[in-house]
Amino acid sequence: MAGLHEFGRRKFPRGEVVLSSARRNWTGMAAEIRNHPAGEIPPPVPQQMEITLALTGSRVGTVERRGGGEFQATIARPGTLWLCPIGLVEDSIRITDDLSHILHIYIGRDVFEDISQSTSRPVSPESVAYRADLDDAFLRQMAYRIGAELEEETSVGRFLVDGLARAMAAHLVANHIGELPKDSAASSIEHAKLRRVIDYINDNLGEDISVAELSDIACLSHHHFARAFRSAIGVPPHRFISSLRLQRAQDLLANTRASLAEVAFACRFSSQSTFTRAFRKHVGVSPGEYRRKAGT
């Protein structure tokens, strides 16, 4: 597994290793938990399948990456999943805020080759989709189990991980092949323009932001911008902005003594009751409950 761990060192030279499987004698898979500082990451070409899971993550940190003609910007909230297939060239990776306890799982090409040989139609692991914020409960649960094995080694850990590596690879082949989006002139936006739009949103979360302003920054018509933004990010502009504001609200609730009304106002909600409804829907608890659990 030395090669798989070497990839982690090359890709994340500034990422602090919290836990690693380097001395566990695992086969088919390697894993590590890292803390990542904000900044750019030099993306090498992977020779193994990379599955990333935010264990702790961040309330406000966003992972921005571009590969295979697709730009993705994802808030690294706990439970967020990313996929990066073998051989995919990522043009850029940027982390906007420090991230803690990010689990990286690397599955070797040989695991996919073994699966391919046992099926009637061989499948290339390079065909696995490049995905961010993946909604896959089965894959997430297996990743959590690998993280638990890193945290506390069991007597059957090596056998467990070998089985999980093959189960994860088979699941990827069965469910996440051939999903790469096709570029379209009608729904595309240049990376530099999208970056300017996202930077503007982050800098002005406490102000009113209109689609007209964002489309002007992107130098696109309002209709074209809305379609292009959704195609690139996966959600409409208003939902992306709302999600960032709710993440900011979580940070204010956990780290300041601002009243709920003040937090609602700072995050541009029309009233405290509107803020409470949106917060509960997004987080699962009321702002007051969230603050009590955070111990502020």
Cα 263 to Cα 284: distance, rounded to the nearest angstrom: 18
User: Which structural domains are found in the chain, ordered by start?
Assistant: 2-175 (2.60.120.10), 187-294 (1.10.10.60)
User: Which pLDDT band, with edges at 50, 70 and 90, does 233 fall under?
Assistant: confident
Per the model's pLDDT, the better-predicted residue between 107 and 189 turns out to be 107
| Neighbouring C-alpha atoms within 13 Å toward the C-beta of 215 | 15
The pLDDT assigned to 81 comes to 96
User: Which pLDDT band, with edges at 50, 70 and 90, does 156 fall under?
Assistant: confident
Residue from 270, 50, 42, 46 nearest 172 by CA = 50
- The angle at the Cα of 86, spanning 54 to 154, to the nearest 5 degrees, equals 50
CB 57 within 8 A of CB 99: yes
- Per-residue pLDDT reduced to its tens digit, 166-219: 999 999 988 998 644 444 444 567 777 888 898 899 899 889 899 889 999 999
Rounded to an integer, the average pLDDT of 15-25 is 92
Query: Of 41-50, 106-115, 171-180, 219-228, which has the strongest mean pLDDT?
Result: 106-115
Cα 289 to Cα 295: distance, rounded to the nearest angstrom: 10
Residue from 193, 241, 245, 257 nearest 220 by CA = 193
Per the model's pLDDT, the better-predicted residue between 13 and 33 turns out to be 33
User: Which pLDDT band, with edges at 50, 70 and 90, does 122 fall under?
Assistant: low
Percent of the chain with pLDDT over 70: 92
- How many C-beta atoms surround the C-beta of residue 83 within 10 A? 20
Residues near 54 by beta carbon (within 8 Å), at least 6 away in sequence = 76, 77, 78, 79, 80, 99, 101, 102, 103
> What mean pLDDT, rounded, does the chain reach?
86
Percent of the chain with pLDDT over 90: 45
Decide if pLDDT at 107 tops 90.
Answer: yes
Determine if the pTM surpasses 0.85: no
Residue 291, phi-psi category: left (phi > 0), alpha (psi -120 to 50), beta (remainder): alpha
The pLDDT assigned to 168 comes to 95
- Per-residue pLDDT reduced to its tens digit, 63-87: 999 887 788 999 999 999 999 998 8
